[in-house]
Amino acid sequence: MSFRPTSGPAICPNHHSLMVQRPEACLFTAGLVVALLISQLFSTAASGKENTIFQQFTQHINRQIHKDKQAFAQASSCVSWFYHKAKTPPPAAQGISWRATPASQPEVDCPRLYPGGMDEARDDFSKTQSMLSVSLTFYEFALVADRNDDKSYSPAELQDLFRALSLSYDDREQIQKQAASLTERFDNWYRSRNMDAVIQGMNDLYGRGYRVTPSDRVELDRVMG
């Protein structure tokens, strides 16, 4: 007695069709995966670029702030020392205060740093206060330009920042060139103590809806502390 599967003829065509379609389905799925990976790669690269520019720009300014704070602290300490020596109350800093470090020795350092005495120390006090004001205000400028406080500049934010700094913007430029343009602008305005230009640039950002956020204030307090 022989047995022939009666369902054989019906199954084979369907099975053959499934075997033909499966490679096509796999190829389609693989194509989607590749497309998603490429999209994510470009998105990550763009985000990394904007994050790199923000970090380089703010860190460059931050380093200058640190130097300015030290210079201002020294000048402030010596002015106080000279005034104390002359039994005259020292002048108050306008909007900025900074205490000398415990390791400072005014009686040794001040005559050496300011052989011209009170007048020389007072002139340096005014200069260092002005320089610190510029670097701090520029740092605030850089923070405000990060509109959503994600520690990176989106293409729109970067374009607005360049415009506010009177710089030409080309999104095709390399990261290092864009970051260099920002740091060079800071250096130029800082050396010339061009506070008016910094304020004008800040007003430009404000005119576009940018504002100092609570996160910005926390960071500014940290840097000034």
pLDDT digits (tens, 9 = 90+) for 140-166: 999 999 999 999 999 999 999 999 999
How buried is residue 96: exposed, middle or buried, by Cβ count under 10 Å (0-12/13-18/19+)?
A: middle
Residue 45 lies in a domain: no
For a pLDDT cut of 90, what percent of the chain falls above it? 62
Contact 34, 58 (CB under 8 A): no
> Given this model, what pLDDT does residue 2 score?
39
Number of domains into which the chain is organized: 1
Residue 102 domain boundaries: 50-224
Residue 35 forms part of a structural domain:
no
Residue 35 pLDDT level (bands cut at 50, 70, 90) = very low
pTM metric for this prediction: 0.73
Residue type at 63? Answer: R
pLDDT, tens only, 79-91: 999 998 887 655 5
Report if residue 33 sits inside a domain.
no
Tokens of 117: 């005495």
Is residue 107 within 8 A of residue 81, CB to CB? The reply is yes
Indicate whether 223 pLDDT > 50. Answer: yes
